[in-house]
Amino acid sequence: MELSVSISFVTVFSAILFSTNLANTEMHSSITTAASIQSVALKREAHALLHSGWWSGENTSSHHCQWPGITCNHHGSVTNISLHGELLWGKSLEELNFSSFPNLVHLDLGSARLVGEIPLKMSNISNLSHLDLSDNNLWGQLPPSLGNLSQLLMLDISSNKISGHIPGEFGCLMSLVTLKLRSNLLNGTIPPSLGLLTNLTELDISENSIEGELPLSLTNLSNLVKLDISSNYEINGSIPSEIGNMKKLTYLDLSSNQLSGHITSRIGAMKNLTYLDLSGNHLSGNVPPCLASTQLRIDFSYNSLEGQIPYEFSPYFANVSFFGNENLCSDITFTGVHPCSTKDSGDDKIIKIIFSISVFIVCAFLSVLLVYKYGYKNKKRPFGDTTTKNGDIFSIWNYDGKIAYEDIIQATEDFDIKYCIGTGGYGSVYKAQLPKGNIVALKKLHGSEAEEPSLRKSFMSEVRTLREIKHRSIIKLHGFCLHKKCMFLIYEYMERGSLFCMLSNDLEAVELDWKKRVTVIKDIAYALCYMHHECSPSIVHRDVSTNNILLNSSLEASVSDFGTARLLHSDTSNQTILAGTYGYIAPELAYTMVVTEKCDVYSFGVVALETLMGKHPRELLSAVSSSSSENLMLAQVLDQRLSPPTNRRVVQDIFLIVKIAFMCLLANPKYRPTMKQVSQEFLARGAPISSKTFRDISLSDLMNSQVYMDAESQV
């Protein structure tokens, strides 16, 4: 590496001397001079790439146009640098000399774990049309000079820690089609100049701290298809009726802000609208009847709407949420809204049936349809108020029945300690038997805990994560109750408790035989694979441990405790919190706070070994790392409470798991397999790992055996 740097310096240097000589020599034609200048420019590009250090792990002796992620034009000049998802751990944009790439058109550094500021020099890549810096750890402010990138079509800086204002100069990016600044720390107001970007089809500035009113000029963006300014919490003023000019909108999310005034019926003019989220604002007045439509999913929840819900909505109740509007009433009672008449609906059988059906429909659709925004700041009445108790902050889905708030209070005698079955990473866990006999588990934050912002945050993180995902081996969340005075989550009940507890109990450990342990480990792998590779954005659990693997009555495993999951993506302000459980945390987290899927892979390796060994592999791992494990036999280290496995398939499965677990525990995250590779390996049932018997195989036999991991499948 060092050698090639110096070679490159020499070549560049001599090329410059060479071209200077040429320029001073009249005997040579200007064509030759131009060619030399071009060659100097190309060498400058090569040098800038090498000098960045971003390709240090690669074979840099090949031509730089062949390096991973680099595309050149036919002159050999770089046009495309695409390192999306490559882990440039802790590297910064400053390291690449952007002035050296006059022909760069496409720069994709999304999800590359970059740190540092966005350099001013970036504005010198004047031909750039595509700039993706999303999902990194960039901080500092947006350089106004980025407004010079007049060819930009796509600018995505989402999910970083960028602070300060959105520069008014962005209004100069006249070609822009996509502008995404979601999930940063941006403050100030929306610059009216953004209204000049008339080619924009997508504008996303959600999850920032933008304040002030929506500039009227935005309504000039007549090509917009998606507009998301949600979760800024401080955007105020009213929704301008001119918003109806944006006739191409299909997605409009203004939720979790401070918008007030009436809902303009001009929204009904957007004939292609399919998603409208106005929840968590201070909108008042009546609901415009013209918004009722079969293609439209609407969230009006947590506002101050009043009057009667127009009958036009009645066919579409499944797709509309009116929760948390205290003065809104309905002729037909359904979740969240009280009937207009004051008579006791409990006496009326028909209304009761309609009520249950509506609850069922609403619940069934909830998880898919409505993204619950918790940042509303409306004043809520406490529980016990008969007009609001159903809809206010109590939500149930993913459950084929009805759970009422009262049922839970009754079943636990208002969270009496005798129903407490444990305390988790946060909150206490209760067991509740509902009137129909079904049992659910409740995780509750107590008084002072509920006031603690970090606990509330992990609580909400769990709701958001589990709401979006569904997998056989991931704990099912049935609902939640969210109120300062009463915060709890409702889960499916896992009869046998945690894997950790089962392994700690000598009797139960024997019940968990080899075959069941193999199944448990594979199921955990499939669940993590699903989270990492099939969810978008992918979910990193961050706290995989045997404490967080729960077992049901058939000893089937579910991954639980998502309190710290994906915090990295959703919470950009608080990254220094080290989440996870000691003994399961990947070593790189000790010196970098950057969390990737590979951290879960490491924890999975620990859990897999622990499940087979019956105890934490702490000592084994230190023996392996100090090479004092040379002659350790597998049979010696696995759980001695079980008699050795006899089934040949189970034996091969154990070999494979141990082999893979050690790969997952490699110190360098880059060399650990992905959960996708692990899952594919488990599903493949490939050739036997070894012909040795369970008694004869040593750990080093396993570590040195070949497992072919399909490189193609690496994501």
Ligand X SMILES: *[C@@H]1O[C@H](CO)[C@@H](O)[C@H](O)[C@H]1NC(C)=O
Residues annotated in a binding site:
443
Looking up tokens 């399961």 gives 584
Residues 6+ apart with CB under 8 A from 350: none
Assign 102 to helix, strand or coil: coil
Q: Which lies closer to ligand X via its Cβ, residue 215 or residue 424?
A: 215
DSSP 8-state symbol, 678 = H
The CB-of-38 to ligand X minimum distance in angstroms stands at: 11
Number of other residues whose CB lies within 10 A of the CB of residue 153 = 15
Amino acid at 475: I
Amino acid at 142: L
User: Kind and range of the H or E element at 179?
Assistant: strand 178-180
Number of other residues whose CB lies within 10 A of the CB of residue 448 = 8
From CA 243, how far away is CA 234, in angstroms rounded?
19
Identify whether the C-beta of residue 543 lies closer than 8 Å to the C-beta of residue 505. no
DSSP 8-state symbol, 330 = E
**Residues pairing with 396 in the sheet:** 479
The CB-of-714 to ligand X minimum distance in angstroms stands at: 15
Q: Checking DSSP bridges between strand 211-213 and strand 234-236, what pairing results, if any?
A: parallel
DSSP 8-state symbol, 72 = E
Identify whether the C-beta of residue 599 lies closer than 8 Å to the C-beta of residue 589. yes
> Would you say the C-alpha torsion 343, 344, 346, 347 has a positive or negative sign?
negative
From CA 133, how far away is CA 107, in angstroms rounded?
8
Binding site for ATP, by residue number, is 443
Give the rounded distance of the alpha carbon of 600 from its chain centre. Answer: 14
The CB-of-188 to ligand X minimum distance in angstroms stands at: 6
From CA 38, how far away is CA 208, in angstroms rounded?
44
From CA 610, how far away is CA 625, in angstroms rounded?
17
Provide the binding-site residues for ligand X, judged by CB under 6 A.
Answer: 44, 59, 61-62, 69, 71, 80, 82, 97, 99-100, 102-103, 106, 121, 123-124, 126-127, 144-145, 147-148, 163-164, 169, 174-175, 187-188, 195, 199, 211-213, 216-217, 220, 234, 236-237, 247-248, 272, 274, 294-295, 297, 316, 318-319
The CB-of-194 to ligand X minimum distance in angstroms stands at: 10
**H-state helical runs in 512-628:** 514-529, 567-570, 597-613, 618-625
Three-state helix/strand/coil letters over 473-525 = CECCEEEEECCCCCEEEEEECCCCEEHHHHHHCHHHHHHCCHHHHHHHHHHHH
Looking up tokens 């499940």 gives 611
Cis check: omega of the bond before 143, within 30 degrees of 0: no
Number of other residues whose CB lies within 10 A of the CB of residue 232 = 24
CA angle (34 as vertex; 29, 35 as ends), nearest 5: 100
Residues 6+ apart with CB under 8 A from 151: 105, 126, 127, 128, 129, 175
The CB-of-148 to ligand X minimum distance in angstroms stands at: 4
**Structure token pair of residue 493:** 């009940």
**Looking at 204, 228, 523, 543, which residue is catalytic?**
543
Judge whether 543 counts as a catalytic residue: yes
Amino acid at 106: H
Catalytic sites, residue numbers: 543
